[in-house]
Structure 1
Amino acid sequence: MAEEESQNGEIIERPIDGSKKHPLERPWTFWFDNPSAKSKSAAWGSSLRSIYTFSTIEDFWCLYNGLFLPSKLPPGTDFHCFKEGVEPKWEDVQCAHGGKWTVNNTRGGKDELDKIWLNTLLAMIGEQFDEGDEICGVVASVRARSEKIALWTRTAANEAAQMSVAKQWKEFIDYNDKIGYIFHDDAKKDKSVKNRYTL
């Protein structure tokens, strides 16, 4: 029930209309990847699967509450949430000239990983970033010895935009350690690539 105050000050209870959903500014898609399950000869990205696209707050919470949290995923898997129409691949036209900020979950265990994931999702789908057009999506990567969450952006060469995104992201997830930004172009050429920006 929702409460309203009438003109004479009385509280009136009205039933909530469950058929009315609250649209997001744009749809988003959850993706799952289990690269360790594919054969060594399979092309990269061949195990990547879209799970569901949502466009309302209610649909997001239904999905979020029904899907595995990053802390429950088996090692070797990646969980993604990207703008609809953007695949979580370097080759995607929206990602091709971009890069990623990465947070290493070293301080709070599994609960901290899930908290960073949720707060990042809420900031993205709630359009909280000043440079929201720069955001492509977020990836949670679970490995045997490390857990990372990476925020992918569109225009790596725009340092001002990337620093703005990083500053806000750290505030949204309450993260005080240093984070680094890697250009996708650099990562394609060298696995031991260095950060271009840090904050």
Structure 2
Amino acid sequence: MSTEVAAEVVVAPPANDAEEGTKQSHKLERKWAFWFDTTKPKQGAAWGSTLKKAYTFDTVEEFWCLYDQIFKPSKLTGNADFHLFKAGVEPKWEDPECANGGKWTVSGSRKTNLDGMWLETLMALIGEQFDEADDICGVVVSARQRGDKLSLWTRNATNEAVQMSIGRKWKEIIDVTDKISYSFHDDAKKDKSSRGRYSV
């Protein structure tokens, strides 16, 4: 998907059912934002320099319009990311909400189960299905030649009880039986290791 395609979605807002006078918009508990990163940064450019916010939404209707148009992992080309994060939080380690956090990660495949896991996670987030919803920053789906993955980012990596609860709930939501692990952003910053600190 090119950045031009994503830009077209940004300027074409979802249909407003309220204008039709037949349906009422269903407000979400909080605002969310879709982000995308589908281009390789130029050599020497800072990480995140190609990260773009695509759309912010706060109703169920807006979510489905956006999801139905472009936000599916199977549409990603290699080396691309889609993100759904709480509005006001950038999907970067440097964001204050993410700085002390980490992520649960699960492997998937664009050919088989990634679209389903992505959708189930999105619905769980916007539907506030996690007891520890305030500790969740967002979710990232990454398409890579060496293997696709889904990562659930959280705010407070050192709170093991909260992270374990989130991890167990997420496994249940995405229907994964294999072990998944949680890594601290700080570990990745220091040694580029994806070594997990917790696992469920």
Q: TM-score range by the shorter chain?
A: 0.7 to 0.9
Q: Give the drift of 1:145.
A: 2.0
1:75 aligned residue (75, 78, 81) = 78
Query: Which stretches of structure 1, 4 residues or more, deviate above 4 A after TM superposition?
Result: none
Q: In the alignment, which residue of structure 2 is the partner of 1:4?
A: none
Matched, 1:85 2:63: no
- 3-state SS, counterpart of residue 152 of structure 1: strand
2:68 aligned residue (46, 61, 65) = 65
Identity %: 60
Q: In the alignment, which residue of structure 1 is the partner of 2:104?
A: 101
Which consecutive unaligned segments of at least 5 residues does structure 1 have? 1-15
Which consecutive unaligned segments of at least 5 residues does structure 2 have? 1-19
Give the counterpart letter for 1:23 in structure 2.
Answer: K
Structure 2 matches for 1:78-157, cutoff 5 A?
Answer: 78-105=81-108, 110-157=111-158
- 3-state SS, counterpart of residue 134 of structure 2: helix
C-alpha separation in 2, matches of 1:129 and 1:18:
32
C-alpha separation in 1, matches of 2:21 and 2:166:
36
Q: Give the drift of 1:122.
A: 0.3
1:30 aligned residue (29, 34, 40) = 34
Distance 1:193 1:68, change over 3 A: closer
Q: Give the drift of 1:17.
A: 4.3
Distance 1:193 1:69, change over 3 A: closer
TM-score (normalised: structure 1): 0.88
State the structure with more CA Rg: 1
Aligned residues: 181
RMSD across aligned positions (CA): 1.3
Contact 2:36 2:53 in 1 (8 A): yes
1:51 aligned residue (42, 45, 54) = 54
Q: In the alignment, which residue of structure 1 is the partner of 2:181?
A: 180
Give the counterpart letter for 2:149 in structure 1.
Answer: K
TM-score (normalised: structure 2): 0.87
